[in-house]
A and B are shown apart, each in its own frame.
Chain A
Amino acid sequence: MSKQKIKIEGDKWNSERVRADRTDELYKDIPEGDTLMSIDNLRVIYQTDEKETVAVENVTFDIKKGELVSIVGPSGCGKTTILRCIAGLLQPTSGKIMIGQNECSTPGSDRGMVFQDFALFPWRTVRQNVEFGMEVAGVEKEERRERAMKYIKAVGLEKFADSRIHELSGGMKQRVGIARALVMHPAVILMDEPFGALDAQTRNIMQDQLTKIITHSERTILFVTHSVDEALYLSDRVVILTKRPSTIYKVVDVPWDRPRDRTNPEFTELRRKILNYLEEQNVMD
């Protein structure tokens, strides 16, 4: 990735980094179920010394308030690229990302992120990790502590609040990552294969925990995964990408109530259909 450069068309990267907690309150006037975030004509071209590679082409979709949308696609298709553009960590070649009336171009705390390899600060304790965002936003120490503990409890880590990161298991680490994102009350939470580094059992437990968390609060989440099963188990809608250059193949609504039953015939039928499509795409490489 380091050798590659992103080719940029049109407007330069500007605007201030958004820095505040509880950015979800900026959008409290948008009713649940209305569009909160829109991704419009996203295009990413990687430029290496020899050639240009179109990684993402004309990706347009939106996320409604309170929804969990998953992105799935064949391996190497640029799911993470799209997510990183939305987070502001990668500058797209062209396209527009909006939350409400605000354009997102630089990273900011209005788009909280959960990383596949956790990205926790090893020199901080669990609580200090969860407090990081509030700390840089200038939240008072007492409020910080109180809110951090609330979310540490919510993910079941109250006994480990003062532990250091290397003392935790993979599943526990990711629960810290999730608490760290939730506590900031971002407008949108981006999750980049958050359970990808975990074993199958832990994965299922984490999926159930996440289901509980989202049914009790009105969170808007964009979730990247390579597991169709995970996408169907968690999401309200699934965005299916084609292979490179990625564009949207289809957006599937997932109508079932949570918690879902993976053995339900409708569930397995839909999973089979999507998997077949992805396999077709992989074979054609």
Chain B
Amino acid sequence: MVFKYDEHNKYHRMLRLGIITAVSLVVFLMIWWAISVIANNAAIPDPWETFAALADLIQNGDAVTGKSLGDYIAASLSKFIQGFLLALIIALPVGLLLGNFKFLREFTTPWIEVLRPIAPIAWAPIFILLFGYINGATLVVFIGIFFPLLTNIIFGVTKIDPVLIDASKTLGASNLQIFTKVLIPSTVPYLMNGVKVGLGIGWMCIVAAELYATPLGGIGFYVANMITYGAFPQAFAGIIIIAVLGLLTTGLAEYVSKRVSKRMGLDA
């Protein structure tokens, strides 16, 4: 029997995408392998050495420090989550305030526009000097997540449909009720978008901070440490872990934000 692809069959579409993705990954590995062969440099290990090192890392942990992969991931994630929560706790009220009050928004815009484009990792030396390794790194993550969150929340508040405010007024809502029952819910999808963008940046920030300041531990430390030992396959294995965790974080954020948007009736 000849297989016939049917665009309207859900399983056919999934199968198609699955095959494309699998072939794409194989091609990716081939290119990687080719580069390592052509470069013929110890700093670029081939995929098979790397996967062997990865399997070893997962099974036996770090031979140098004796720590397990789980320890490293936990160290990175705990700082990441702290930085994220701190950013959320501060950006939410500040964003609602700046979105609501035009004067405050106009007054603080220069501050935000000056601080926002600075790469978060540029703050690392100063923060680590001022607040120590652990808190300094948390603050780097905080900076990375804070600005995308803040600007998205402000945008959400200013983008609220004025007719919804009119409607709530003619239904007798007080200003406080308009704030809690109309303004905040209508901002949630924008907040989620900020979370989505912020998580991606925040994950990059924590790894960068760990590479920069190795006493922090974490998966970034593992990569930096392996490079100083010249254990390049191990370093690459660490990079793969970073990529997979980053993918999981943004994938989770994407999923949650989609669900929230749908719940809030904004999946256009």
Q: Which residues of A contact B265 (CB under 8 A)?
A: 121-124, 164-166
Interface size on A, residues (CB 8 A): 33
Nearest neighbor of B267 in chain A, beta-carbon distance: A166
Flag if B181 contacts A136 (CB, 8 Å).
yes
Q: Which residues of B contact A277 (CB under 8 A)?
A: none
What is the 8 Å Cβ interface bit string for chain A, positions 148-190, against chain B (1 contact, 0 not)? 0000000000000000111000000000000010001000001
Flag if B177 contacts A113 (CB, 8 Å).
no
Interface residues of B in 203-255 (CB under 8 A from A): none
Whether, in the assembled complex, A88 has its beta carbon less than 8 Å from a beta carbon of chain B, the answer is yes
Q: Which residues of A contact B171 (CB under 8 A)?
A: 109, 112, 132-133, 136, 180, 184
Size category of the binding interface on chain B: 20 to 34
Interface residues of A in 127-161 (CB under 8 A from B): 132-133, 135-137
Known: A119-B163, A132-B181. A109 touches B170 (CB 8 A): yes
Flag if A123 contacts B169 (CB, 8 Å).
no
Q: Which residues of B contact A164 (CB under 8 A)?
A: 265
Q: Which of A15-23, A215-223, A254-262 participates in binding chain B?
A: A15-23
Chain B nearest Cβ from A160, distance in angstroms: 14
Known: A133-B171, A136-B177. A115 touches B163 (CB 8 A): yes
| Whole-angstrom CA separation of A112 from B174 in the bound complex | 15
Chain B nearest Cβ from A175, distance in angstroms: 15
Whether, in the assembled complex, A208 has its beta carbon less than 8 Å from a beta carbon of chain B, the answer is no
| Whole-angstrom CA separation of A113 from B169 in the bound complex | 10
Main secondary structure of the interface of B (DSSP, over half): helix
Residue of B163, B166, B174, B268 near A136 (CB, 8 A) is: B174
Known: A115-B163, A117-B163, A136-B181. A123 touches B172 (CB 8 A): no
Q: Which residues of B contact A112 (CB under 8 A)?
A: 170-171
Chain B nearest Cβ from A2, distance in angstroms: 9
Flag if A17 contacts B170 (CB, 8 Å).
no
Flag if B166 contacts A132 (CB, 8 Å).
no
Flag if A88 contacts B169 (CB, 8 Å).
yes
Q: Which residues of B contact A117 (CB under 8 A)?
A: 163
Whether, in the assembled complex, B118 has its beta carbon less than 8 Å from a beta carbon of chain A, the answer is no
Whether, in the assembled complex, B89 has its beta carbon less than 8 Å from a beta carbon of chain A, the answer is no
Nearest neighbor of A112 in chain B, beta-carbon distance: B170
Q: Which residues of B contact A121 (CB under 8 A)?
A: 164, 167, 182, 185, 265
What is the 8 Å Cβ interface bit string for chain A, positions 66-91, against chain B (1 contact, 0 not)? 00000000000000000000011100
Interface residues of A in 183-238 (CB under 8 A from B): 184, 190
Q: Which residues of A contact B186 (CB under 8 A)?
A: 123
Whether, in the assembled complex, B158 has its beta carbon less than 8 Å from a beta carbon of chain A, the answer is no
Nearest neighbor of B265 in chain A, beta-carbon distance: A122
A-B interface, 8 closest residue pairs, ranked by CB to CB distance from nearest? A122-B265, A109-B172, A107-B169, A133-B171, A119-B167, A113-B170, A123-B264, A19-B172
